[in-house]
Amino acid sequence: MMKIADNVKKILLVDDFHLCRTFFAEGLRQSPGVLVFESSHSDDALDQIQSICPDVILLNISMQHCSGMSLLQLIHRKFPMVGLLTFSYLHHDHVYAERTICAGASGYISIDEPGENLLAAVEAVSSGGVYLNSELRKKTGIRSVRRGRETGSPFDRLSHREFEVFCLTGHGYVPKRIADKLKVSVKTIETYRERIREKLGLTDGSDLLYHASSFIREQSQPQLL
């Protein structure tokens, strides 16, 4: 096994978008004192966490082939001392930032931020701190105050899993495919869909599909830092 100096920060980058992951990794490797490991799926990520004991896990919560939010919660439960820094290639950063922090992450970085912010975020999280840029701190602070009121975001009413089902529906996933991805039964997914409709005031499955698709269309395509 490779011997790693004590002053080297070990970062595990978990992302199944190969090109974007490579771009992130190469950018991080330009910084001295940083050792970057890469993973593209949940099982491998969990194995690497056990073997390398990273200081920071940089996790894409909008991965294509697994539930990033479920992986975040699992990592936080099994490895609570590891710093988790999250990001998403989808917009609505304030929605994802608040949800990931509540689920156990130590920070969220927007892909619109300059590269030096990523290093600052890694430093903050590896030192036991929390990272959010000033805009996200302001937005999530406002949302926390407004939660539960009519002026708050309707997505505040959804649980983490309900929000995942909503987003996957917007991406065109049918209930069976969502169930396979989240490793639950179709009946469970239908229960989530019913709860989503109730909480968002939607009339039926078609109304849910329309609103979920509209939400996804509002978000930009994946982009690089």
Domains of the chain, first to last: 9-142 (3.40.50.2300), 158-217 (1.10.10.10)
Q: Please report, for residues 24, 102, 214, the alpha-carbon distance to residue 86 in angstroms, rounded to integers and kept in the order given.
A: 13, 12, 24
Q: What band does 218 get if pLDDT is binned at 50, 70 and 90?
A: low
Of 80, 17, 89, nearest to 49 by C-alpha is 80
Q: What band does 87 get if pLDDT is binned at 50, 70 and 90?
A: very high
Q: pLDDT value at position 220? A: 43
CA 176/CA 190 separation, integer angstroms: 10
Residue 79: both structure tokens together:
């490895």
Averaged confidence pLDDT in the chain = 82
- Note the pTM of the prediction, 2 decimals: 0.66
The model's pLDDT over 38-73, given as tens digits with 9 standing for 90+, comes to 999 899 999 999 999 999 999 999 887 778 888 998
DSSP 8-state class, residue 152: S
Q: Is the pLDDT of residue 151 over 50?
A: no
Q: pLDDT value at position 6? A: 61
Q: Is the pLDDT of residue 121 over 70?
A: yes
Q: Is the pLDDT of residue 214 over 60?
A: yes
Q: Is the pLDDT of residue 143 over 70?
A: no
Instruction: Using DSSP, state whether 156 is helix, strand or coil.
Output: helix
CA 59/CA 85 separation, integer angstroms: 6
- Helical ranges in 30-114 per DSSP H: 42-52, 68-78, 93-102
Rounded to a whole number of angstroms, the distance between the first and last alpha carbons of the chain is 33
In degrees, rounded to 5, the angle at the alpha carbon of residue 74 between the alpha carbons of residues 222 and 181 is 55
Residue 188: both structure tokens together:
């469970």
Q: Is the pLDDT of residue 157 over 90?
A: no
Q: Is the pLDDT of residue 202 over 50?
A: yes
CA 181/CA 201 separation, integer angstroms: 26
